[in-house]
Structure 1
Amino acid sequence: MRTFDTVRRFGNVVIAAVSVVALCCGAWLLRSGMGVHAPPQPSAAQAGSGRDGGPAGAAAAPALPPSPPDRIRIPAIRVSAPLRGLGLTSAGSLEVPPAGRKNLAGWYEAGTTPGETGTAIVAGHVDNAEGPAVFYDLGALKKGSVVEVDRRDGRVAVFTVDAVEVYEAEDFPDEKVYGAARRPELRVITCGGGYSRATGYRGNVVVFAHLTGSR
């Protein structure tokens, strides 16, 4: 059986750019009429600057020790969802939570845990065949919004959103999204961008946030 520390020894594996394309195929969007129920997309005003997506030099709270996360909460878009560990597929892309559990998100368990120094990755579906899923409204999130992560050690890591951006798959900025950070940072990722009947969503919505407190 793999322990948490054993899994984390492989945390420097590079995640491929196709990591979250499989977070949805848009079956519900297709069935209910393209564009009628399309999830919100971030505006240009929510884009950030710099490698971390947010303002350069933004203050961060002291890092927390490693601890697996159990739940993510984003009050502004009414998200409160359990988290499960995700690994990598044989192609080097990030695994995705089971599509049938629409209020479940996942975190890259071989990487940084939310709250410790580095870049923690959380991903979840935007929809499934039945309708909206956990991160359907992620593109509506604004700068300054709060993301809270309940950790197994009993602490709550509190992050502030620096930017919300959308990328087409061919332009996905691996280093900006997945690259190492010198402060505690968080990325929350789902599907977004243009939509194709043949392939589903063409890109991803990415939330960039950094640790600003804990309790």
Structure 2
Amino acid sequence: MPSVVHAAPTKISIPRLSLEAQVVPVQLTTDGAMEVPKDVKKVGWYALGAAPGEIGTAVLAGHVDNYIGPGIFFYLKRIRLGDEIMVYGEDGKKLTFTVFKKEVYPFDQAPVEEIFSAADGKYLNIITCDGRYDRRTENHEKRLVVYTKLKE
């Protein structure tokens, strides 16, 4: 059976949150962390990993806020198990993912291997900051990760 080439994601929609946003490819920062778009209203897709719909785990990230106000994932903490997330590819196709887990981790203890895993299924994980912003470390104290699986 020929392998399926999945398109890069261009848009995300989360009906529970009345959220729609442009998705842009991101890579790694110089210190090896996943980049996040400079624009707090856009979502970054880790382009060095799986694309949504491929076997493995696609990862999206976005800001919770900045010094001006709320970012694209400001209300992500309101998402519930069973909620659906739609991702649209550059080919115009829509993929629907279902939330099966939501976790909050200390910012420096998020399980990177689990979040970016090369799993056997078709997963999409979404990361944003959570908790108080610490001006000293220039970082939020926690990370919120929403785990989803492709609805087939």
TM over 0.5: yes
The answer on 1:176 being equivalent to 2:137 is no
How far the C-alpha of 1:88 sits from its partner, in A, is 0.7
Structure 1 or 2: more helix by fraction: 1
Q: What SS does the corresponding residue of 2:103 show, helix, strand or coil?
A: strand
Match of 2:53 in 1: 115
- Once the two structures are superposed, what CA deviation does each residue of 1:89-115 show, in whole Å capped at 9, x if it has no partner? 1211111101xx332111011110011
- Once the two structures are superposed, what CA deviation does each residue of 1:38-70 show, in whole Å capped at 9, x if it has no partner? xxxxxxxxxxxxxxxxxxxxxxxxx96321010
Which structure: larger Rg? Answer: 1
- Distance in 2 between the 1:65 and 1:207 partners? 25
- Of 182, 187, 206, which residue of structure 1 is paired with 2:125? 187
How far the C-alpha of 1:80 sits from its partner, in A, is 0.2
Paired AA for residue 210 in structure 1: K
Q: What SS does the corresponding residue of 2:81 show, helix, strand or coil?
A: coil
- Distance in 1 between the 2:68 and 2:132 partners? 20
Structure 1 or 2: more strand by fraction: 2
The Cα RMSD (Å) is 1.6
- Of 94, 101, 107, which residue of structure 2 is paired with 1:163? 101
| 1:60-79 matched pairs, under 5 angstroms | 65-79=5-19
Structure 1 unaligned runs (5+)? 1-62
- Distance in 2 between the 1:196 and 1:68 partners? 34
Identity %: 38
Q: What SS does the corresponding residue of 2:49 show, helix, strand or coil?
A: coil
Q: What is the aligned residue count?
A: 149
Q: What SS does the corresponding residue of 1:131 show, helix, strand or coil?
A: coil
8 Å Cα contact 1:193/1:201 also seen in 2 = yes
Runs in 1 of length 4+ with deviation above 6 angstroms?
Answer: none
- Summarize the Cα distance change of 1:148–1:64 in structure 2 as closer, same or farther, 3 Å threshold: farther
Match of 2:41 in 1: 103
8 Å Cα contact 2:107/2:140 also seen in 1 = no
Higher relative contact order (CA 8 A, sep 6+): 1
How far the C-alpha of 1:153 sits from its partner, in A, is 1.5
The answer on 1:206 being equivalent to 2:145 is yes
How far the C-alpha of 1:185 sits from its partner, in A, is 0.1
